[in-house]
Amino acid sequence: MSIVDKIKRIKIPGATIIVPMFIGCLINTLFPQVLGIGGFTTPLAQGTGALVGAFLVIIGSTISLKNTPKAVLRGGTIILTKIALSVVLGLIVAKVFDDNFLGLSAVAVIGAISVANNAMYAGIVSSFGDEIDAGAVGITTLSVGPMVTMAVLSSAGLADISIWSLVGTILPLVVGIFLGNTFPTIKTMLNNGTNAIIMIVGFALGCNMNFGQIVEGGISGILLGLITTLVGGALCIATDRLTGGSGVAGAAISSTAGSAIATPAALAAVDATYASIVGTATAQITASVIVTAILTPMLTAWISKRNNKKSHGQIVTEMTESEEVVEQQL
């Protein structure tokens, strides 16, 4: 196999959004004047607000509202645990550490931890989980977009966001959910554009970043990914088991969604005071996406393996006890 073929076989976690973002960042770092040339080029590079809005409509159309009660309970439990953890840690970073914990801001913490990669979740539980775990994805997908981050920061007085701005932020998602669940044909058309809009949003985000910001956010972003999977995963596994689950769903939800990369830009669009941290926070969340894409499947496989060992041990114990009972009767 040639070197070119080997390179082609390399899989990059979250490549759909990360590769275009890298290209946009490369252009903005080396030839920033190209992005200010005007015409349709400049609006594309700077129009992240409109692109994220379109992105939310399309993502919303993929969300199904049909689920069984057990799937609703399990999905709601693990995603609310994830959101609650993001809120607590984000507010601690903002209030106790003056919005700078080892380089991490509340925007990055809440944005990365609160939203999971639901495509990855669905794929993982199809291998390690049961039907209830698989059905829970319909609920976990409801936590998408920057709404959680905006609502928390606004409620805590850390961002100046009006109620109408919050409504305007979630409205494209609601429209997408309505269209996707009401009109199957429209759902199909919008779903076909998912990868395309993700790539365009990624490129536009990259056009507003440079490699200095990526380097700055790299190490702290790795830390963010570790916190998201290890701390978030531990809590979600525990609450998953409280609903009668095996812990697989809790482990599988411990990732950062690629869509979270757009959260800092969306926040800055409604509160300009956050514009200065958009590049760094975006780089940190990007790092978390990559780190969790590697760690989350590993954590889930480990939980599944432990469950299988316990189950096998229990079966052996029951068989031994049965043999002892038979021997006593004889």
Break the chain into its structural domains and give their ranges.
26-320
Q: Judge contact between 124 and 300, C-beta under 8 A.
A: yes
Kindly state the average pLDDT of the residues 13-26. 75
Q: What single string gives the DSSP state of each residue in 3-70? A: HHHHHHT---TTHHHHHHHHHHHHHHHH-GGGGGS-TTHHHHHH-HHHHHHHHHHHHHHT------HH
Question: Is pLDDT of 82 > 80?
Answer: yes
DSSP 258: G
- The pTM for the full model equals 0.69
**Domain 26-320 - what CATH class?**
mainly alpha
Q: What is the band of 326 on the pLDDT scale with cuts at 50, 70, 90?
A: very low
Q: Residue 260 — φ and ψ, nearest 5°?
A: -65, -20
Kindly state the average pLDDT of the residues 241-257. 90
Nearest of 168, 78, 60 to residue 114 by alpha carbon: 78
Q: How many percent of the chain have pLDDT more than 90?
A: 17
State the first-to-last Cα distance of the chain, in angstroms, to the nearest integer: 66
Calculate the alpha carbon distances from 97 to 34, 106, 197, 226 in Å: 39, 10, 36, 19
Question: Is pLDDT of 200 > 70?
Answer: yes
Mean pLDDT (the chain) is: 80
Q: Judge contact between 197 and 172, C-beta under 8 A.
A: no
Determine the Cα–Cα distance for residues 283 and 211; give it in Å rounded to an integer.
9
